[in-house]
Structure 1
Amino acid sequence: MDKFNELVSTQMQTMEKLLYLQSELERCQEIEKQLDALKQSAELEDLRMEIDRKKLDLKEIHQMFEKQTEEVIHTYQQLAVSYR
């Protein structure tokens, strides 16, 4: 059961990172709209690069979260079998 709890805890930390990055991405995209409206191309290009980095980070964390979910399910299934 300790392994299961540890996996769930790790997954919750990953979820926090995922949510944080998602909110940061949304914030950057809002700034992007504002800069585009103001036609500030230099700042806009820098921001678009940051958005691309955040999207990549978000994708990586999402993949990690999916893998952790599979591991949590597998561990839970093993625990369920051992308690029968």
Structure 2
Amino acid sequence: MDKFNELVSTQMQTMEKLLYLQSELERCQEIEKQLDVLKQSAELEDLRIEIDRKKQDLKEIYQMFEKQTEEVIHTYQQLAVSFR
């Protein structure tokens, strides 16, 4: 049961990172729209690089979250079998 609780805790931390990164990405995209309207091309290019980096980070964290979910499910199934 300790392993299951540890996995769930780790997954919750990953979820927090995922949510934070999603909000940061949304913030950057809003700034991107504003800069595009203002035609601030140099700042816009820097921001687009940051957005691409955040998208990649988000993809990696999401993949980690999926893997953790599979591990939590597997551990839970093992616990369910051992309690029978």
Give the TM-score of the pair, scaled to structure 1.
Answer: 1.00
Cα offsets for 1:3-42 (capped at 9, x unmatched): 0000000000000000000000000000000000000000
Instruction: Name stretches of at least 5 consecutive residues in structure 2 with no aligned partner.
Output: none
Instruction: Give 1:70 deviation, angstroms.
Output: 0.1
Instruction: Give 1:66 deviation, angstroms.
Output: 0.1
1:18 counterpart residue number: 18
Q: List structure 1 runs of 4+ shifted beyond 4 angstroms.
A: none
What is the alpha-carbon distance in structure 2 between the residues aligned to residue 44 and residue 80 of structure 1?
53
What is the alpha-carbon distance in structure 2 between the residues aligned to residue 37 and residue 66 of structure 1?
37
Instruction: Give 1:2 deviation, angstroms.
Output: 0.0
Instruction: Name stretches of at least 5 consecutive residues in structure 1 with no aligned partner.
Output: none
RMSD: 0.1
What is the alpha-carbon distance in structure 2 between the residues aligned to residue 61 and residue 52 of structure 1?
14
Give the TM-score of the pair, scaled to structure 2.
Answer: 1.00
What is the alpha-carbon distance in structure 1 between the residues aligned to residue 14 and residue 68 of structure 2?
9
What is the alpha-carbon distance in structure 2 between the residues aligned to residue 28 and residue 57 of structure 1?
14
Identity among equivalent pairs (%): 94
Aligned residues: 84
